Chains A and B, each alone.
Chain A
Amino acid sequence: MAKTDEVKSTPPEDLDLLLPPEVTGLRLLWWRVRNAEELRWVRVAALRVIFGVIMIVLWESASGTLIDHRTISSPSLLVTSFFEISDPANPDGSLWVHFSYTVENTFWGYLLGALAGIMFGFLLAEIEVVALVIEPFIMAFNGVPRIAYAPLFIAWFGIERQPKIILVMTIVFFLTFVSTFAGIRGVSRDLINVSRVLGGSKLAILRKIVIPSASPWIFNGLKISIPFGMVGAIVGEYIIADKGLGYLLQRYNNEYYTTGLILIIFLLMILVIMVNQILNWAEGRALRWRPTSRMGQETVIPG
């Protein structure tokens, strides 16, 4: 039987076919490094490192010469104060005490919020009437900047961990809820009808069609929730706490300790990137079937 269609993928081009004729020696080597498909990531990584180094050098040399080092600190100041602050003998508590306090609060808030968000997303997407009735209420509650709720949560739940965890929870809940809901609502009607005709029971269709269809949306909700959830923990600590990175930010701010502020910002960056990488990896494994894109999926950083 004749095959008229072809598979869409094409074999990689033989690089030498593209080789300009007059290139030789060291220039040839350079040309190969620049054009080899396998070296793509190495090239990007190398350029990233170079970019980072240039920024650090510029920063270090500008600090104390062009701009006062109390305003912009400097990389070397950051390193020394990092060791100072993270010393276990630090009377204010080591940096790691604060760090783990914030991470724990974020983790529990994130876990509980995400579980509740996904469950509610499924439930409401299946029950049309409830979804219609409570939609405006949810949107109203979610529309208010979360910091406005923080004083209330503190009044209700005290000044310990609970209000911080709950603040994180509410943020993560809505983001995962909305994305799960949208994901399930977006499952193609045709696909479900076809599955019914093919003999799928309601449960089997949920397991084999609905959940896999919605999973890219759910993952997306989980990913955008990370930085937003962290905002919740930090804001909670910023308002009132005696521990946590938010508390440190607030204290250093009062003391005009820029080096400490910048240090914590860097710490938060590293944390978000790490968690994001873990989720990207999990997503990549769960959604292996998707056509691969060149760029990794990055999280949205909230303003």
Chain B
Amino acid sequence: MTASLSIRQVGKRFLSRGTIVHAMSDVNLDVGEGEFVTIVGPSGCGKSTLLNILAGLFPPSSGEVHFRGERTRGLNPEIGYVTQQDNLLPWRTLRKNVLLPLEFRGVSVSNGVAERVQTLIDKVGLSGFENHYPHELSGGMRQRVNIIRTLICDPRVILMDEPFGPLDAQTRLTLQNQLLELWREERKTIVFITHDLAEAITLADRVVVMTGRPGTIKSVTPVTIPRPRDVYHIHDSQAYREIYDKLWEELRDEVAKVM
């Protein structure tokens, strides 16, 4: 597998109330093309900071990020970002929200584009709601719109920052399932942050555990459970439980330190 994203010795410091905070230091990770990597860690370990750096919203204080062999500088149209809050525009309908990035990129809405938009909307089960405004949709629906809004530009890499965090348990499972299907069809590289260990294992090819502040990588665990996975029953398998116990063992120490 060729590396899609490589993170080399990345660190981030920032000034907060007159003191320098080391959010992250010495993070090294290679994410393969088409790979699904999840990152777990105690809150405040710099997970979101790492994602912001990968997205190009701000540069690292030290180290480098390479995308397909080239050092990244600033925003990259090949890298999409799905945030925890859906960040939909309340004055636009579902369909118009999905079209926003195309308008930004000056893509005219031809038949082909309209078709692709509709296909994505259908795929995540939102047909019939195209002309609804965000306030008329549930949290789960809004988050699906957020995801397909990123997919519409066809980026190679998708960064996801606890996208299912605010959702209830059933909706979360449904969305995990849909995300896996989309990922299988579209073959994107995904870096996915979560605080839910079960979610991390269910989705990932590899699970990265980060330490508390300053955040650094504690371990990388491959998840060998065969795909396609059944998100509703994966928890019953022996392999799942072994990985869960191992990861929880590692995570527990880090969480305890922060508490």
Which of A's residues lie within 8 Å of B, judged by CB?
A: 1-9, 188, 190-191, 193-201, 204, 208-209, 212, 287, 289-291
Known: A198-B104, A208-B100. A190 touches B85 (CB 8 A): yes
Q: Indicate if the CB atoms of B174 and A4 lie closer than 8 Å.
A: yes
* Given A5-B139, A9-B136, A287-B91: A200 in contact with B104 (beta carbons within 8 A): yes
Give min CB distance, A75 to chain B, whole Å: 46
Contact B89 A1 (CB under 8 A): no
> B100 contacts A7, CB within 8 Å?
no
Q: Is the interface of A mostly helix, strand, loop or mixed?
A: loop
Task: State whether B135 touches A291 (Cβ < 8 A).
Answer: yes
Contacts of A8 in B (CB 8 A): 135-138
Instruction: Give the docked Cα–Cα distance between A39 and B174 (Å).
Output: 42
Interface positions of B from 96 to 144, Cβ below 8 Å from A: 100-101, 103-105, 123-125, 129, 132-133, 135-141
Select which of A191, A199, A204 is within 8 A of B77 by beta carbon.
Answer: A199
The residue that B80 contacts in the complex, of A4, A9, A197, A287, with Cβ under 8 A, is A197
Q: Does B47 contact A (CB under 8 A)?
A: no
Q: How far is the CB of A200 from chain B (nearest CB, A)?
A: 4
A212 to B97, CA, bound (A): 14
Contacts of A212 in B (CB 8 A): 89, 91
Q: Once the chains are docked, how many angstroms separate the CA of A62 from the CA of B89?
A: 56
Shortest distance from the beta carbon of B173 to any chain A beta carbon, whole Å: 8
Chain A residues with CB under 8 A of B77 = 199
Asked if B141 and A5 make an inter-chain contact with CB atoms under 8 angstroms apart, the answer reads: yes
Give Cα distance in the complex from A196 to B56, angstroms: 10
Please provide the 6 A-B residue pairs with the shortest distance between their CB atoms, ordered closest to farther. A5-B138, A289-B91, A198-B101, A199-B104, A1-B125, A200-B104
| B75–A196 CB distance below 8 A | yes
Given A1-B124, A1-B125, A289-B133: 7 more A-B contacts, CB < 8 Å: A1-B123, A8-B135, A8-B137, A188-B87, A195-B104, A289-B90, A289-B92
- Residue B237 lies at the interface, judged by CB distance under 8 Å to chain A: no
Taking a contact as CB atoms closer than 8 A, the residue among B103, B104, B135, B174 that contacts A2 in the complex is: B174
Q: CA separation between A57 and B122, bound complex, in Å?
A: 63
